[in-house]
Amino acid sequence: MIDSKCSPRYDADTGTLTNPSPGTAVLFRGDTPIALEDAHMDTTTLGRTGFVVSRVGLGLAALGRPGYINLGHSADLRGEHAVPVMEARAHAVLDAAWGAGVRYFDAARSYGRAEEFLAHWLDARGIDPASVTVGSKWGYTYTADWRADAATHEVKEHSLANLRRQTHESRTLLGTHLDLYQIHSATLESGVLADREVLEELARLRAAGLRIGLSVSGPRQGEAIRRALDVIVEGERVFDCVQATWNLLEPSAGPALEQAHTLGVGVIVKEALANGRLTGRNDDPAFAARRRLLEELAARSGTTTDALALAGVLARPWVDVVLSGAATIDQLHSNLAAPAVRWDERIEEAVGSLAETPEDYWSIRARLPWN
């Protein structure tokens, strides 16, 4: 039986979290308890890493810092940016995710205090490293000084010195919970996939037991993935996992991700909701017709547009994990309805009209304001 008294609750008025038990599957919408049936979440093995992961993971990009590009991010935070308040909020979402069966959590050095918040939560809840998979990323440095209106929020540097510095920082915070360390936003243009010093250091970390991955972004994701699949150091493939943007607007990386999956490389999908563009928050008049289509398809399926979009990712047989980027418990609850959505050929055919060219998609993303 689920005990609602143990459910995690974040009090925005006091900035505190009450009853932070990770074992419950009760979420709250306002003051109304919402039970997730038996806290069941399908799991799979992340490529050949051996890590057992939930099909839906939680990314902390919107939980670890005041500013982000997701539509409506500022409304989610309600102007409450004090570090203790944001940490309590993050812990409430983490508790709700754990209670719902989420077992993969994803952070980065550039997500503000995301690693710190996650590390504190793992320690406070006494979560055994063997019962959870934690990934983080190196390559960007957070520079916003805890401001949502900063001129520069992060700076990219894929150097050997930065890899060593950020590996030390991540390990200091996450300790033995850190399982997967990923290059953050590897692109062909950055040159990191041809930097022998960096690749040899990643191979050394891998030989010492850390699994190595990369995230990719931009209109040439597929090319970057294929380049990464060819990276061999001392007879071993360096990259165990790839994290890429794939969604109903930007599906171009699909063939390369399928190839990675075939080779035993784990596949994690990020930005499945296109930073909010695939939700009701997208009020762009140019998107109105596509939004109506999404809403109609979701209504016919008895679900929400965000759950439908996430279900579209889970329908790809080559996907291991899709990340929820929820900043609130309500958003998380809505996202976690995705595995129950019945994806069929009718929906598959209908959503084909939503796709943009990669160039258009990434151009629009680059213009999304930090908020």
* pLDDT class of 238 with cuts at 50, 70, 90: very high
- 17 pLDDT higher than 80: no
Q: What is the dotted CATH code of the domain comprising 45-366? A: 3.20.20.100
* pLDDT class of 137 with cuts at 50, 70, 90: very high
- 24 pLDDT higher than 80: no
* pLDDT class of 43 with cuts at 50, 70, 90: very high
- 292 pLDDT higher than 80: yes
pLDDT in tens, 298-333: 999 999 999 999 999 999 999 999 999 999 999 999
> What is the SS3 string spanning the chain?
CCCHHHCCEEECCCCEEECCCCCCCEEEECCEEEECHHHCCCEEECCCCCCEEECEEEECCCCCCCCCCCCCHHHHHCCCCCHHHHHHHHHHHHHHHHHCCCCEEECCCCCCCHHHHHHHHHHHHCCCHHHCEEEEEECEEECCCCCCCCCCCEEECCCHHHHHHHHHHHHHHHHHHEEEEEEEEECCCCCHHHCHHHHHHHHHHHHCCCEEEEEECCCCHHHHHHHHHCCEECCEECCCEEEEECCCCCCCCHHHHHHHHHCCCEEEEECCCHHHCCCCCCCCHHHHHHHHHHHHHHHHCCCCHHHHHHHHHHCCCCCCEEEECCCCHHHHHHHCCHHHCCCCHHHHHHHHHHCCCHHHHHHHHHCCCCC
pLDDT in tens, 199-223: 999 999 999 999 999 999 999 999 9
* pLDDT class of 31 with cuts at 50, 70, 90: very low
Domain boundaries along the sequence of the chain:
45-366
